[in-house]
Amino acid sequence: MNKMSYLNAINIGEIARPASTLDFSGSPGSFPLARYDLAKIRNVIGRDEIRRGPASIWRYWMLLPADNPAAAITMGEGYTPLVELRALGHQHLWLKDEGQNPSGSFKDRGASVGFTRYRELGVTALALNSTGNASAAWALYAARAGIRCVSFLPFDGQESTRKQCSLAGGEIHFVQDWPNVGSLVARECKAHGWLNVSALREPYRIEGKKTLAYEIAEQFDWRLPNAIVFPTGGGQGVLALYKGFQELRELGWITDPDPKLIITQYAGCAPITKAFRENQDKCEPWGAIDILSGGMKSPNPVSGPAILALLRRTRGTAVAVTNEEALAAESEMCRAEGVFICPEVATTLVGVRKAVESGAVAENDRVVLIGTATGLKSLSHVRDPMA
Ligand SMILES: Cc1ncc(COP(=O)(O)O)c(C=O)c1O
């Protein structure tokens, strides 16, 4: 396959580095991003080329950072359906059902691109901290790539994701002091020579996840919805999504404005939502965490300032959702629509309703809920009507 795509620089703070670097260090609060020569790509390839590609994220190979996309580490991740939701009271509502990915969550997108690129760059061992879903994806794709993968998981995380990691042969360390897990992983990586692929520490997870934006645009025939509701923890998913929209616009493949961004967070760990409500432009570290086990456990997200800026630029909003509200919405979505999503995703239904109440979303807005993972990930939370 032709090498149409390339990474020409990685912006780390002020510094640009070559695509082949594994040095992602930067000034505090910055994070590395891959950049492309979009003007050149625009001249050589059009969006119709996409249709010829596989039914996975690799149909967008020309916008992904692989020297040889034909040798991608892939299990058919991405190309997930937009399921229309007609019985939940909002006129135009869809679920982007990421539960249909190989490991059951949207994290597979980042793992596929990450392992593809890191294998090309000769990486043999890497490590990350994750509340569970990212580690499950990375451990499974590591097995396929033949790369050693070490996960740092919360001691009280989910059994499903822990078992996905261990069955795939991933190494696991359980962590008690979750708010300081980032510095623990950084220290361990330095001591053992592992590459740190924790969220926003490296550029390629974002590159995989930005394909969510490409797919949403393609599925709506290159138009965009009015609003997107994203369950948010570390914020990497949101940043990736809007990076994807920006690239499509620079390519001239879309012209619609960015959708309003609605983020949802659990009320028991909502640093970005609190900062948004208080009109701050950065977050304070969150104190005591009280949320359901699973994703969205990010008390001090480095993405805070960037997401707050996105919320304001797109005239979106941030919604805090209680554990109880999430569980009730999970049951409602299953009963009314037959979709079996996890409580993190259920926060998005509460989110869109609260956003309509506050006027941030109009009743006839076309809204997409990002269904980041399947309900099978968190069976222990499911309310059993037979019990
Ligand atoms: C199911 C689920 N939804 C949402 C999120 C939040 O994603 P992000 O950390 O990119 O904001 C996570 C991350 O842990 C997750 O596992």
Nearest ligand 1 atom, CA 234? 9
Nearest ligand 1 atom, CA 232? 11
Nearest ligand 1 atom, CA 209? 10
pLDDT of 11 over the 90 cut: no
Can you give the pTM of this predicted structure? 0.97
Rounded to the nearest angstrom, the distance between the alpha carbon of 369 and the centre of ligand 1 is: 13
pLDDT of 385 over the 80 cut: no
Confidence of residue 372 (pLDDT cuts 50, 70, 90): very high
CATH code of the domain occupying 82-105+206-381: 3.40.50.1100
Nearest ligand 1 atom, CA 235? 11
pLDDT at 13: 65
Nearest ligand 1 atom, CA 130? 14
Rounded to the nearest angstrom, the distance between the alpha carbon of 292 and the centre of ligand 1 is: 13
Pocket of ligand 1 (CB under 6 A): 105, 131, 133, 199, 231-237, 295-296, 298, 342, 344, 372-373
pLDDT of 311 over the 50 cut: yes
Confidence of residue 14 (pLDDT cuts 50, 70, 90): low
pLDDT of 5 over the 60 cut: no
**Which residue's C-alpha comes closest to atom 15 of ligand 1?**
295
**Which residue's C-alpha comes closest to atom 14 of ligand 1?**
295
pLDDT of 298 over the 80 cut: yes
- Residue-range domain boundaries for the chain: 7-71, 82-105+206-381, 107-196
Share of the chain above pLDDT 90, in %: 88
Pocket test for ligand 1, best of 342, 344, 376, 378 (most atoms within 8 A of CB): 344
pLDDT digits (tens, 9 = 90+) for 116-137: 999 999 999 999 999 999 999 9
- What is the average pLDDT score of the chain? 95
Confidence of residue 2 (pLDDT cuts 50, 70, 90): very low
Rounded to the nearest angstrom, the distance between the alpha carbon of 231 and the centre of ligand 1 is: 6
Task: Decide whether 82-105+206-381 matches 107-196 in CATH topology.
Answer: yes
Rounded to the nearest angstrom, the distance between the alpha carbon of 373 and the centre of ligand 1 is: 9
In terms of C-beta density within 10 A (0-12 exposed, 13-18 middle, 19 or more buried), how is residue 353 classed? middle
pLDDT of 337 over the 50 cut: yes
**Which residue's C-alpha comes closest to atom 16 of ligand 1?**
295
Tell me the CATH number of domain 107-196, given options 3.40.50.1100, 3.30.2010.10, 3.30.1490.20, 3.40.50.300: 3.40.50.1100
pLDDT digits (tens, 9 = 90+) for 227-269: 999 999 999 999 999 999 999 999 999 999 999 999 999 999 9
92 or 20, which is more confident = 92
Rounded to the nearest angstrom, the distance between the alpha carbon of 134 and the centre of ligand 1 is: 8
**Which residue's C-alpha comes closest to atom 12 of ligand 1?**
295
Confidence of residue 4 (pLDDT cuts 50, 70, 90): very low
pLDDT digits (tens, 9 = 90+) for 126-184: 999 999 999 999 999 999 999 999 999 999 999 999 999 999 999 999 999 999 999 99
**Which residue's C-alpha comes closest to atom 13 of ligand 1?**
295
Q: 114, 92 in Cβ contact below 8 A?
A: no
